[in-house]
Amino acid sequence: MNQQREDDVSLRLTEVGPRDGLQNERHLLGVGDKVDLIDRLVAAGAREVEIGSFVHPRWVPQMTNTDEVAARIRRKEGVLYWGLIPNMRGLERAMDAGLSHVAVVMSASESHNLKNINRTREQSLKEIREISKIIRSKGMVLRSYISTAFGCPYEGEIDFSVVMELAERLLDLGVEGVSLGDTIGVGNPLLIREGCLRALDHFGVEKVILHLHDTQGLALANALVAVECGIRRLDSSIGGMGGCPYAPGASGNVGSEDVINLLHALGFDAGYDLDRLVQISHWLEESFDIAISSKYYRYAYANACFNASAIHSKAP
C-alpha cells in the first residue's frame, strides 16, 4: 500500500493512448476495440481519457471513427472524456458526438504549427478564440496543447519565453490548462525543470500539464524532475504507444504503467491499478500486434507475475 501524500488531491493524469498512441499505429482499430480499450482504461483507474481526435480522415486515418467511438463509450460518472479538435469543424463534430471536454493544439514553433495544422500560430490563436467563445457559451471545457515546447524538429531549440507567452494568451482565451508537449522527446531534465518551474510559478499548479515523449529514453527522468518541481498534471499513453506523424523521429509517449509506477515509488496514490494497466498492454500487444515499450510492462512480464505488490515485497 502506498503512502498517501498530502498533496495528492491535485494529481491529475490524462490517458492519451486512444488518441496520441493509436494515431501513430499501423493498425486501424475498429470502433468496438477502441470502446473496449477506453472502458478497460477507466476500469483500471483512468479518470481522464483522450478518446480520439476529430481531424480529417485524410490526415490521420486511424482517427476516422472517433465520432462513433464517442457515441458508444459507456460514460462513467466522474470520468472526463476528452476529444482533440484541430479546428471549428472538429468542434462541431465533438459537440455532435456529445463530448463536453475538448482539447485544441498549437505549436510553440511556427514551422511545426504550419506542418501540423497548416496555419500560422496567429491564425491558430484567432481560431482558438472563436472556439473558446462557443465552448464557454455551451458550458463545455477547453484545454490546449502547446507542442514542441522543448524543441522542434524543424527549428531546433525553442526559446521558452515563446511558450510562456503562448500559454498566457491561451489561458486568457479561456483554456482551463495548457499541456506543454515535448512532442519529439528532446527535453532533458534541466530543460524540463527550468520550464516547469517558470510555468508553475507564473500560472499555478492547476493550469500546467506536462506531455512527454520517450524518444531519447529521458521521459521518466523528465517526469521525475517535473513532479519534484511540483507538476501534478501529466499526460501518458498506455504501453508507451504513440508518436507524431508530423514530427520526424518522434517515438512513443511516456508509458502510463511507467508513470504510475514512478508515482507509487514517490509515495503518490495515483488511483490506478497497475496490474490492470499491464493487462491492457498485454491485450494490445497480443490482439493488435502493437509494440509495447513501457519498461514496467516488460518487468512485470519478465517476472511472469502481474502482482506488483508481491514482486516489491520480495525485493531485497
Which residues contribute to the site for Zn ion (CB under 5 A)? 20
Q: How far apart are the first and last CA of the chain?
A: 17
Q: Does residue 244 have an active-site annotation?
A: yes
Cβ nearer to Zn ion, comparing 8 with 155: 155
Taking the CA atoms of residue 129, residue 176, residue 156 and residue 185 in that order, the dihedral angle to the nearest 10 degrees is -140
Residue 18 φ then ψ, to 5°: -65, -20
| The one catalytic residue among 152, 196, 244, 305 | 244
Cβ nearer to Zn ion, comparing 14 with 65: 14
Q: Which residue is nearest to Zn ion (CB)?
A: 20
Give the whole-angstrom CA distance, residue 14 versus residue 2.
21
Cβ nearer to Zn ion, comparing 20 with 258: 20
- In the complex, least distance from residue 13 CB atom to Zn ion, rounded to whole angstroms: 15
- In the complex, least distance from residue 181 CB atom to Zn ion, rounded to whole angstroms: 6
- In the complex, least distance from residue 248 CB atom to Zn ion, rounded to whole angstroms: 14
**What is the number of other CB atoms lying within 10 angstroms of the CB of residue 33?**
17
- In the complex, least distance from residue 182 CB atom to Zn ion, rounded to whole angstroms: 8
- In the complex, least distance from residue 20 CB atom to Zn ion, rounded to whole angstroms: 4
Cβ nearer to Zn ion, comparing 112 with 264: 112
Cβ nearer to Zn ion, comparing 20 with 214: 20
Q: Which residues make Cβ contacts (< 8 Å) with residue 96, sequence separation at least 6?
A: 67
Angle CA 92–175–63, to nearest 5: 40
Q: Which residues are catalytic?
A: 244
